[in-house]
Amino acid sequence: MRRVLLIFIDGFGLGQNDKAINPLVKFDPPLFRQLFGVPLTLTAAPVLTDRVCMVATDTALGVSGLPQSATGQTALFTGINAPKVMDRHIQGFPGPGLAKIIAEHSLLSELAERGLAVTSANAYSPNYMDLVAARKRRHSVTTLTMLNANLALRSLPELQAGQAVNQDITNEMLPLMGITTIEPVSAAVAGNRLAKLAKQNHFTMFEYFQTDRWGHKRDWDIAKKIITVLNEFLTAVYAESQDELLVMITSDHGNFEDFSVKTHTNNLVPTIIWGPACCSVAAKIKALTDIKPAITTYLS
Ligand SMILES: [Zn+2]
């Protein structure tokens, strides 16, 4: 049985091999060094081996301006060129136009309709729906894909039971939201839990957005911590997933890889894939709109 784990890292592009501006060069996470032999930059792509692949992926999709989250994530999760349909890159959260594209073309709905077990590993706060109803939060693209497919959102009971992962990976941000009942976990434990959950489903996704948040703020100390956490997390996923899971790591646009600007970038993003037949999947991916068909074909 084929299984896919999609790890979506917001604002995570392929930058220059320059440690003065690129945290991924300055802090050079050991997993990427082990997998690619060099830091994760544009010059490292493509990597096409039996074990792991990494291909540069276009997020501009033929539309001028800086790629943004709402249109980029819609393209990623629907295969539709959302910036082209909307005639611009749209930041933040999807409005009615993008919500319609998601409702009609979502990857998760298509897989769920086939009878496959589909889930998001992300844990939502218990009052998330109330906050949305009170207009204090808005649904992200990934949340809309879950709700459109009538899939249950994981929350604190699943997190407590090791069957979910918090958006910050280590649970350290939960007390900031008034949640004090969940213990912090190491990034390695979180990664191990994510891979185990992915082995219980046909398609599992996890979304991490601290990269985009802190890429805008250009804080080198927090960038170092983010890279340490991501390295430990992905190393644990790698160790637990070998030969059983197709793991795909990708992003919606660049940002974190270039601290010379506080905006998103026009850089290509990495799509990193390991697991069974990773090369045949990677060969199909040139742009964000290729991710959905690559996954639906792989799982057919
Ligand atoms: Zn951003």
pTM of structure:
0.98
If you measure from the C-alpha of residue 162 to the centroid of ligand 1, how many angstroms do you get, rounded to a whole number?
A: 29
CA 183 from chain center: how many Å? 24
- In the reported structure, the alpha carbon of residue 243 is separated from the centroid of ligand 1 by a whole-number distance in angstroms of 34
Kindly give the distance from the C-alpha atom of residue 144 to the centroid of ligand 1, in angstroms, as a whole number.
Answer: 19
Predicted local distance difference test score (pLDDT) of residue 244: 85
Residue 255 belongs to domain spanning: 4-298
pLDDT at 243: 82
Distance 49 CA to ligand 1 centre (A): 32
What is the 181 CA–ligand 1 centroid distance (Å)? Answer: 30
Residue 218 token pair? 């250009």
Q: What's the number of domains the chain is made of? A: 1
Task: Return the CATH number at 276.
Answer: 3.40.720.10
DSSP string, 170-193: SSTTGGGGT--SS----HHHHHHH
The pLDDT, as a whole number, for residue 291 is: 98
Q: Is 55 helix (H, G, I), strand (E, B) or coil?
A: strand
Q: What is the pLDDT of residue 242?
A: 74
* Segment-wise mean pLDDT, segments of 10 residues, the chain, 300 residues: 96 98 98 96 96 97 98 98 98 96 98 98 96 95 97 97 98 95 97 98 98 97 98 98 92 98 97 96 97 97
